[in-house]
Structure 1
Amino acid sequence: MGDYTELKRLLSACRAENCDGPREFQKAVDALFEVCSIETIAGLVAENEALRNAASEVLDWTEANHRPPVADRFEHGRMALVRLHALADLHAALGKGGVNDR
């Protein structure tokens, strides 16, 4: 999907605190449902699943490449460093399309 600006605006408009009454709420909900087709929702679900899979793949890859071979020799703070590498790798993977694209 990519750009969620309009979807976020429509979702915000549907919040009760952003509506002056039932009619305004109904108009906001109708506008949201016009945008949220089955294809849009399916795309969001697919994108979410792809991001979850990418995050899991990046964490696995990063831990395999940055974790010391013997867990008992894991110095204090090293796991935080491994996770920082994972975040950097995830950022890179999202920008390039996958871990294997390096």
Structure 2
Amino acid sequence: MRENSIEYWIEEAKEVAGKIGVEPILPNKRIPRCKKQFDKMCDDDSRTLQPVQLFSQATMVVFDRILSEIKKGDNSATTLNSNFAFLNGTEILNMSNEELQKHRADL
């Protein structure tokens, strides 16, 4: 997902918005003014970013979250598979009684 450019994802979003009847525009937000001290700079980048840049940041955050959840789910599935693989019919038939006793005790 990260390999595609933001322009690709903007076109995808426009297409989906058109299908559901939403106007596909990225509105310019009002830039709030922050009171600055004479020796400080405003650290909030979102005040100076264009709508496309804000969309790009939000999209990458979502992509990162999706990827981390997929990895977490894959790790959980791998752990479950390794813990209960002995319940596979062909493996149980090929195990010795000692191995079955060990797996029974672990379970």
TM class by shorter-chain length?
Answer: 0.3 to 0.5
**Larger relative contact order (Cα-Cα within 8 Å, sequence gap ≥ 6):** 1
* Greater percentage in helix: 1
After TM superposition, the score normalised by the length of structure 2 is: 0.38
